[in-house]
Amino acid sequence: MIRVRIPQKNKEIEVRGPRRVMDILAEAGVRPTTVIVTRGKDLLTKDQRVEDGETIDILSVVSGG
Amino acid sequence: MKCKRCGKTPASVDLPSHHSAFCPDCFFVFFRRQVEEGIRRFALLAPGDRVLVCVSGGKDSLVLWDVLMELGYRTEGLYIDLGIEGYSARSKEKVLAYAASRGKEPIVVDLRAEGVPIPEAARIGRKEECAVCGTVKRYFFNRVAAQRGFSVVATGHNLDDEAARLLGNLLHWDADHLSRQHPLLPESSDGLVRKVKPLWRVSEVETASYGFLKGIDYVTEECPMSVDATSLVYKEALSLIEDAMPGTRTRFYSGFLQKHGDAKPGAAPMDVPELFARDTGEEDRPAGTCGVCGAPAYTETCSYCRLKEKVRKAMERR
């Protein structure tokens, strides 16, 4: 399984791999233009494939106020 | 996906709005060029400027400071401690750590010490926190810049911020705000320092990507006061459109700036509807100075000093 963390929402889900980033975002209900997706120190493009056993972070980039 | 610029290295940043994707090194080049073009387009900064960069600890302002230093501008950071329990301490820590990593020490204004911490000021002033925060921050941006001899104040507003603000202004047909919305607000003889938004061409995804790849440790939590900010609703609506039609946000805001007419300070807007006519800086500016603090003001006492007095009286009654 792929571990998907959404730290700003204190949320974590697991999805079956392998899966492209854009598909994981769709499953998590997150719009691609509102986030960056990281794996450790790497920044991932939306077409990148994530494998079972890996952990990724979805970081919101939207600031308000 | 390979980097579209060098064609060799795997891409880390994909930007559908630019039909492009970049490896980290090429993305840095792309990003700097976007900022340089944004500065050049409206002559936001000149080589001799002393730039006061307003930093909150968030990604946009720290990235702005970083890229302006890389481009060779003389900069100092200004951090305003808003007095928000927990959040302010954490954001200040990020600013101090970033500044120290670049051999800098930011100027710090503490709103508790000034007698106007935002949560109390908003409650006592019976206004939305973001509105009060805007008034107080603008006041100190200008005051610190004027007192310390900075020629220009730079803020980290990005394309998403400006497009969201434009959408809000249009939905309300707010001609006054539309006429003043621009990456450049020229200085005026009555004491207003020039204000610029050098990141107006880059999106939030781009500033976040730049910050992440550069290892800039910014505060990722949202300001607790901005949970109900209307700007977030406009951003949500625009991101829905942007996902379906990449590049729309850029065309929306750039098109608006073109309708503003020639953006040179003092130039008359050309052949554009009255609604979009730009405030060139000479009209609708403060008529005088505040009788209390001496800052440029529309009324006898500026809005900051009125707020501060209100907060002081309320505190005294406790």
Burial, A3: exposed, middle or buried (Cβ in 10 Å; 0-12, 13-18, 19+)? Answer: middle
B209 or B267: which carries more pLDDT confidence? B209
- Counting other chains too, the contacts that B65-68 makes at CB distance below 8 Å and 24 or more residues apart are B65/B98, B65/B102, B66/B98, B66/B102, B66/B210, B66/B211, B66/B214, B66/B216, B67/B31, B67/B32, B67/B35, B67/B198, B67/B210, B68/B35, B68/B154, B68/B198
> Average pLDDT of B41-64?
97
Determine, for residues A61 and B11 on separate chains, whether the beta-carbon distance falls below 8 Å: no
Share of chain B above pLDDT 90, in %: 79
Q: What is the DSSP code string of B103-139?
A: T---EEEETTTTT--HHHHHHHHTS-HHHHHHHHHHH
> pLDDT-based confidence at B275, cuts 50/70/90?
low
Facing residue for B212 by CB, picked from A7, A43, A47 = A43
User: What residues in chain B have their Cβ under 8 A from chain A's Cβ atoms?
Assistant: 1, 11-14, 21, 24, 58-60, 130, 133, 160-161, 203-205, 207-209, 212-213, 220-223, 225-227, 229, 231-232, 235, 239-240, 242-243, 246
pLDDT at B274: 59
Give me the half-sphere count of Cα atoms (radius 13 Å) on the Cβ side of residue A33.
23
The pLDDT tens digits for B255-271 are 999 876 555 544 444 44
Instruction: Enumerate residues 6+ apart whose C-beta is below 8 A from A14.
Output: A1, A2, A3, A4
**Given a cut of 50, is residue A64 above it in pLDDT?**
yes
Q: Which residue of B has its CA nearest to A40?
A: B212
Strands B107-110 and B74-81: parallel
The pLDDT tens digits for B24-38 are 999 999 999 999 999
> Average pLDDT of B52-69?
97
| Residue boundaries of the structural domains of chain B | 1-39
CA-nearest of B55, B211, B57, B227 to B141 is B55
> Average pLDDT of B197-204?
97
Instruction: Enumerate residues 6+ apart whose C-beta is below 8 A from B87.
Output: B219, B221, B223, B224
The DSSP call for residue B179 is H
**Given a cut of 60, is residue B315 above it in pLDDT?**
yes
CA-nearest of B240, B166, B241 to B197 is B166
Q: Are B196 and B45 in contact (CB under 8 A)?
A: yes
pLDDT at B267: 47
Q: For chain B, report the end-to-end CA distance as a whole number of angstroms.
A: 63
Beta bridge partners of A13: A4
Q: Is the ipTM of this complex over 0.90?
A: yes
Determine, for residues A65 and B130 on separate chains, whether the beta-carbon distance falls below 8 Å: yes
pTM of the predicted structure, to 2 decimals: 0.92
pLDDT at B278: 64
pLDDT at B270: 40
B126 or B272: which carries more pLDDT confidence? B126
For an interface test with B, the pick among A34, A57, A58, A63 (most B C-beta atoms closer than 10 Å) comes out as: A63
> pLDDT-based confidence at B168, cuts 50/70/90?
very high
pLDDT at B166: 96
Give A 1-60 residues with CB within 8 A of chain B: 7-8, 31-36, 38, 42-48, 59-60
The pLDDT tens digits for A9-58 are 889 999 998 999 999 999 999 999 999 999 999 999 999 999 999 999 99
The pLDDT tens digits for B90-124 are 999 999 999 999 999 999 999 999 999 999 999 99
pLDDT at B264: 53
What domains can you pick out in chain A, each with its CATH number?
A: 2-60 (3.10.20.30)
Q: Which residue of B has its CA nearest to A46?
A: B14
Beta bridge partners of A50: A19
